[in-house]
Amino acid sequence: MTQAILDAVHQAMSSPWIYLALFALAMLDGFFPVVPAETSVITAGVFAASTGAPNLALVIAVAALGAFAGDHISYAIGRTTNHRLRSGRRSGKAIAWAERALAQRGGLVLVVARYIPAGRTACTLTMGAVAYPRRAFAFFDAVAALSWAVYSGLIGYVGGAAFENDPIKGLLLGLGIALSITAVVEIVRHVRGRRTAGTAAPVGADEPRPVAVRARD
């Protein structure tokens, strides 16, 4: 059963249609984050190392182009559905987080958000909602999409090179590395957020306190 699945995946990875599939998955992931785009790119990287197909450079290129296109679709959605996104319970929280991060770090937050689960979509939607300059958005998004594609492809390639004769172990290693890096990013973000909240001055701290005056008889 396992060998049959492995043969089917190998056949899919050696097909020229794999590049179109990777492009489509990366594009959909830009505005529909439940699509397993990163896992697909990592898997392609594993097979690129262990079997030689698909071509790693092409995998990275089509994944980056797909991510770039998907992020621009998300940006356009943010421009047209600003009010609806803010009024949603979950989307409202994500938009608020992205707005704070955007105010603190500017366009660089888009590069960082590429490695945060659902963060990339919240960030691109918010940048569209606040009418962030499109040219600046395209620049930072190009950096984010390319770095993400290189990161995902190389992680898979490292796993495939480590287990050339066992792509399943290579895939598990690649996914393990990706999950570990994501966990570290989330922990660092959480700790920094708590520190920032802890050092913030309390409301009214600079206001003079009323002095109690004892009434005289």
For 35, half-sphere exposure in the C-beta direction (CA atoms, 13 angstrom radius) is 20
- Total-model pTM: 0.80
Helices (H) and strands (E) in the chain, counts: 10, 0
Alpha-carbon distance values, 217 to 133, 210, 212, 214 (Å): 68, 22, 16, 9
Predicted local distance difference test score (pLDDT) of residue 76? 94
Alpha-carbon distance values, 61 to 77, 90, 98, 137 (Å): 25, 33, 27, 19
Predicted local distance difference test score (pLDDT) of residue 38? 92
Per-residue pLDDT at 68 exceeds 80: yes
Q: Any residues with CB less than 8 A from the CB of 84 and at least 6 apart, and which? A: none
Q: Any residues with CB less than 8 A from the CB of 198 and at least 6 apart, and which? A: none
Count of other CB atoms within 10 angstroms of residue 206: 7
Residue type, 90: R
The secondary structure element, H or E, covering residue 177 is helix 167-199
The per-residue pLDDT for range 139-153, each reduced to its tens digit, is 999 999 999 999 999
